[in-house]
Structure 1
Amino acid sequence: MLEIPGWIPFQRLAALLALLAAAVALAVVDRPSRLSAALRRRFLFGLPLGTLASAGGVLVVYLVVQDGWSSWYRPVVIPFRAWSYFYPTGMLTAAFAHSSAGHLVGNLVGTLTLAPVAEYAWSHYPTRRGSTSFGSARENPYVRSLVVFPAVVFGVGLLTAVFALGPVVGFSGVVFAFAGFALVFRPLATVLAFVSGRVVSLFYNVMLSPEVVSSARPVFSTPWWSQIAIQGHAIGFLFGVLLGAWLSHRRGGSNPPALRSFAGVLLFAVSESLWAVYWYRGGETYVLFRAVGFALVVALATIVALTVAASDKPLRASPDNSLFSARRWQAGLAVLLVVVAALSGPAMLYNTFTASGDDLPGESVTVRDYEVTYAEDVPNGLTAVFDVELFGESTTTNTSGVIVKSERRGIWTTAVSTSRLAFDGESAVRVGGLGWRDRVTAVRDGYVVTGAGVAYRVFLVADGEARLAYETGPVRAGPVVARRNVSVVPTPTGYDVQVSSDSGTVRGPMPTGNTTTTLDGIRFVRENSLVFAESRGTKVRIARQETYN
């Protein structure tokens, strides 16, 4: 039996060779020279240089600005979100920063597959009749590919941050703008490019982890749609459509049929969950308006299709041409601008507010201008200043978990939720700014009390020093032992057991290891992670030490 040495990456090589074999076979059967010629007609050197420059810039932000180079999976995120108009650093960096390596890779794949279609439609070479390459700086293909295209990408990124609702982060708004622009010119090619992104993602994961072994285990999860910045995606998509429709009609070329545009927009919008309209109710509860979202994406696809396919004829003919009459496609653009205004208006109002200046509850840890604490069921300091109620939903919510605040930066956020920390037991929060970074680690310990809740503590660790930030009150166990109530009581130094009866209350240390504690005739013993109460031959479990994943 042939045994392959373990040091040879056989599975990765197999995947790579399969891809190369397919490329060679297709090159023999088809004529790649035709594709190369088509690319060279629109691209300088046949390459989407603007796409590559834009993707490279996003990668540099992650590696250098967010410290992804030394912490690939846990970059610094909090200071680079778009918190408000009073924090310019966040507004400038939000569209180009990312919350994780997976977030970054997903947007880079979207850029490398969708942006070339948009860049091809725009072209490195001028397409206006009578223009010539290198005739002016504006017509120079080097300038168009390496200056103009990245500059437009940067501008669209700033717009998605400025008009986005909430402290967004990520390049996805620009990726959606690429898609919107490309769908105007080549809807079917855009859908094909979008689907090809799934192949690129799969190949990346194959190279990263060629074999995955998994088994049933508990996981912490929130609804998948609650992680989508739906408003920011929609804003970016509409920016792309507006740019594409304006350029298409300015060039005066032939546009795709309305049905093809409708199908392309609808397929993309549904596949990328633009229909997932939701709201946060607090306490990690979310509501998804699925029917409303579906109706909205159908309406969006209809408006875009009619705008793209509309002619240059005026809406109303004027015999003497004395009265202004808008073109039909301009009417469609006006409708899309109204939609953009409706989406952006609340965001602009929201972004004029900054975080609440109220003091944080409990003990906090200070790292330069940041304060970090742990609290439960407190008003969200970012949404509480903007109280609006509509359709039974409210912007004012309560939150629980590790809270990070910076009054100077206008930051107030729940960096780690209570349930997340209860699942993991420990979580690091990275704070910082341009050129510096630090971390505060939240650590939880506790006991699950039989027939009741959980008695627990939360410590915050910074610079090697641990500070108690939160502790629950006494939690009384359900079982009654010898007509006495038993409670678990967190303390700054550990946990106590408390026994209460009509004659009074006594407390003693929670037994650990081989020790026992006797209180008011009840003997408490510990067996591994379990704590039992013994009295007159009766043995009852009163608590279990909390475990984490």
Structure 2
Amino acid sequence: MEIPGVLTVQRAALLAAFVLALVVVFFTDRPAGRWGTALRRRFVLGVPWGSLITLVGVLAVYLFVQGGLHHWNRPLTIPFRAWSYFYPLGVVTAAFSHNGPGHLIGNLTATAMFAPVAEYAWGHFPRERGSTSFGSWRTNPYVRAFLIVPLVVFVAAILTAAFALGPIIGFSGAVFAFAGFALVNYPLVTVIALVGSRATRVVYNALQTPQLTASGHPAYITPWWADIAIQGHALGLFIGVFLGLVVVRNRPSAERPSALKLWTGVLLFGIQQSMWAVYWFRGGETYVLYRAVGVALVVTVAVIIAVTVVASDRYILRDTLGGAFAVRRWQTGAACLILVAAAISGPAVPYNLYTATDGDLPGDEISVGDYEVTYAENVTNGMTAAFELSALGETTAVKTSGVIVRSRERGIWTTAVTRGRLAFDGQTAVRVGGLGWRDTVYTVRDGWVTTQGGTAYRVFLSHNNTARVVHTSEPATAGPVIGGRNISIEAAAQGFYLRVKQGNESVAARLPENNQTVTLDGLTFAREKQNLFVEYDETRVKIAKREQYQ
């Protein structure tokens, strides 16, 4: 039995350990104001105000735009993804919205670690001695802290949403921009911040769940790397690197980090953050990971970034027209980075010009506001097939199965719940809506699994206490042949039916209720709770069982 007092004591012990550790470190180090002086040298009042404003803004979107204030674990997400350029609300909100509390806390924690490092590198005050802080609005520390930093973050986040392939959601693109800016200025400090971000998550989880009891149980799992928005992360990193270059290249070469530190920092960050997880999906729920190619790309990008930051201003190419056209060494690296960034973001442009088609949806749909919700199997994925391309044995013309949500007004077409997920859970909720409103459509599956055969099932959509069947599967034939007869279960809108077939003849009847029997062509079928048995000539065989869900 769980004792609440024990959990409270564990939380208190954890907090006390941290307080004691900080006190011991403080009095051991005896900073005598050095820590605060270092912060005030770069920040107004020693506080990274831009980072704080960013954290508050992202949290506010989750609470008040996505409805997290009243639905903390069930935020509204579908209308706040970047579906296309014809849906500006999604493009603007996607980078600041999140799938759930875990997604939100992860990005807020990472922002709290990387953003202050990046803001410190840029600073609210000029680095040069003798320069004035209030000479213009550009050097005014309050403008830099409270306006420029949040504005740059907002623009960078919008860019990661606008030029990422697919309907992304989450602040991670901006987080990677913070990290990219910090890496080119303080590479090893950024790696330490990465470790700090992971440690903070562990502490948060320990406070939230001080004691955890776990055991083996069935689970529906997709590959973890298939949930990574690798393109948005890479684009955010490059945006941060370009902005960081503006700062670091304006410093004396002696103040720039070494190539080894840069290469090591970028490489460790890229590997740890799974930027090597380049993948594609083959339709259904099958994914392909190009791990070797991804690791090679991370290593190469780390080299290019290191060379670009530390390379000299000497020319490697000049024309004969009096220097009208000249290329410096570091500019070559910057050009390579621009080409890589263009290659990453370029494919997103034609896809983001695609919007939902006006054709009929497959299957019977339910309308909720401007949304249409239905269930279909083995249909062309409307999210990837805007432009049919093939490369490396893969294609964008893939098939999908599951709960499909479309909104012509918003340009949305998505498989909100896959067939596999619904088969595992049995019931899922699809939340649709927009600014100021939300609604829920429930999807329910029930079925019978035949012995050594397939599954016959139905799918319901329920809304406003009204449910109807929108999909029935193909009949499922059991493996055992009883008395020369094949036995199948068929799904229909009215229920499930038994069919007994011998040669070209067949008979059918409704599947019996619990503790009842039905006889077909000499075979007696008996229903006992979740199991169905067939009896013939003193032989009794389990022929099917009710589909079970987790």
TM-score range, shorter chain: over 0.9
- In the alignment, the residues of structure 2 paired with residue 256 and residue 400 of structure 1 have an alpha-carbon distance, to the nearest angstrom, of 51
Structure 1 match to 2:116: 116
Indicate the residue corresponding to 1:28 in structure 2: 27
* Equivalence map 1:112-261=2 (5 Å): 112-128=112-128, 130-252=130-252, 254-261=255-262
What is the match of residue 501 of structure 1? 502
Q: Which residue matches 1:439? A: 440
Matched, 1:10 2:15: no
Q: Distance in 1 between matches of 2:6 and 2:395?
A: 57
Residue 7 of structure 1, CA deviation: 7.3
- Using the TM superposition, give the Cα deviation of residue 473 of structure 1 relative to its aligned residue in structure 2, in angstroms: 2.6
Closer, same or farther: CA 321–255 of 1 in aligned 2, 3 Å:
farther
TM-aligned CA deviation for residue 511 of structure 1: 2.0
Contact 1:36 1:46 in 2 (8 A): yes
Query: Alpha-carbon deviation of 1:252?
Result: 4.3
1:331 aligns with 2:332: yes
- In structure 2, how many angstroms separate the alpha carbons of the residues matched to 1:246 and 1:143? 19
1:318 Cα deviation after fit: 7.9
Shift of 1:323: 3.7
How do 1:117-516 residues align onto structure 2 when only pairs under 5 Å count? 117-128=117-128, 130-252=130-252, 254-316=255-317, 322-502=323-503, 504-516=505-517
CA distance in 2 between counterparts of 1:388 and 1:547 reads 39
The residue type equivalent to 2:116 in the other structure is P
- Mapped contact 1:365–1:373 kept (Cα < 8 A): yes
Q: Which residue of 2 aligns with 1:64?
A: 64
Flag structure 1 segments of 5+ consecutive residues without an equivalent: none
Percent of aligned pairs with the same amino acid? 54
Tell me if the contact between 2:515 and 2:529 (Cα under 8 Å) persists in the aligned partners: no
Check 1:7–1:277 CA distance in 2 against 1; reply closer, same or farther (3 A cut): closer
Which one is further off, 479-488 or 232-241? Answer: 479-488
3-state SS of the aligned residue for 1:526? strand
- CA deviations on 1:339-364 (whole Å, 9 max, x unpaired) are 11111111112211223332111111
Mean CA deviation greater in 315-324 or 519-528: 315-324
Report the CA distance shift for 1:187/1:381 in structure 2 as closer, same or farther (over 3 A).
same
Q: CA deviation at 1:131?
A: 3.0
1:70-85 → structure 2 map (5 Å cutoff):
70-85=70-85
C-alpha contact (below 8 Å) 2:7/2:210 kept by paired residues = no
Q: Which residue of structure 1 lines up, in the alignment, with residue 37 of structure 2?
A: 37
Q: Note if contact 1:516-1:525 (Cα within 8 Å) is conserved in structure 2.
A: yes
The number of residue pairs the alignment matches comes to 546
- In the TM superposition, what is the alpha-carbon distance from 1:481 to its structure 2 partner? 1.6
| Partner Cα distance (1:125, 1:390) in 2 | 50
Determine whether 1:545 maps to 2:539. Answer: no
Aligned partners of 2:169, 2:230: CA distance in 1, in Å? 12
In terms of mean alpha carbon deviation, does 176-185 or 483-492 score higher?
483-492
Distance 1:503 1:325, change over 3 A: closer
Q: 1:358 to 1:129 in 2, by over 3 A?
A: farther
Amino acid across the alignment from 2:20:
A
Cα displacement (A) at 1:474 = 2.0
Please state how far the C-alpha of 1:43 moved relative to its aligned partner. Answer: 1.1
Deviations along 1:98-142, one digit per CA (max 9) or x if unpaired, are 112111111111100011100000001123565312232222222
C-alpha distance in 2 between matches for 1:491 and 1:370: 26
| Shift, 1:315, TM fit | 2.5
CA contact (8 A) 1:355 1:385 kept: no
- The separation in 2 between residues aligned to 1:421 and 1:28, in whole angstroms, is 57
Residue identity in the other structure for 1:239: I
Q: 1:393 to 1:296 in 2, by over 3 A?
A: same
3-state DSSP class of the match of 1:13? helix
Q: Give the match for residue 534 of structure 1.
A: 535
* Post-superposition offset of 1:260: 0.7
Label 1:323 to 1:361 Cα distance change in 2 as closer, same or farther (>3 A). closer
- The amino acid of 2:5's aligned partner reads G
Q: CA deviation at 1:316?
A: 4.0
Q: Residues of 2 paired with 1:219 and 1:179: CA distance?
A: 34
Letter in 2 for 1:155: V
Q: TM-score, normalised by structure 2?
A: 0.96
Q: Which amino acid aligns with 1:132?
A: T
SS at match of 2:120: helix
- Equivalent AA in structure 2 for residue 538 of structure 1: T
The answer (yes or no) to whether the contact 1:533–1:542 under 8 Å persists in 2 is yes
Cα distance in 2 for partners of 1:318, 1:130 equals 39
Post-superposition CA distance 1:374-393 (Å, at most 9, x none): 01000001222210011111
**Contact 1:356-1:382 within 8 A present in 2 as well:** no
Is the 8 Å Cα contact of residues 318 and 327 (structure 2) preserved in structure 1?
A: no
Secondary structure in 2 matching 1:496: strand
State the distance in 1 between where 2:88 and 2:336 align: 31
RMSD: 1.6
Instruction: Give the SS at the match of 1:480.
Output: coil
For 2:14 and 2:6, how far apart are their aligned partners in 1?
17
Letter in 2 for 1:233: H
State the alpha-carbon separation in 1 of the partners of residues 320 and 398 from structure 2.
Answer: 59
How far is the alpha carbon of 1:528 from its aligned partner? 2.6
Q: Secondary structure at the match of 2:479?
A: strand
Contact 1:489 1:495 in 2 (8 A): yes
2:533 is paired with a residue whose SS is strand
CA-to-aligned-CA distance 1:225-250 (integer Å, 9 cap, x gap): 10001111000001100110122213
Superposition TM-score, scaled by structure 1 size? 0.97
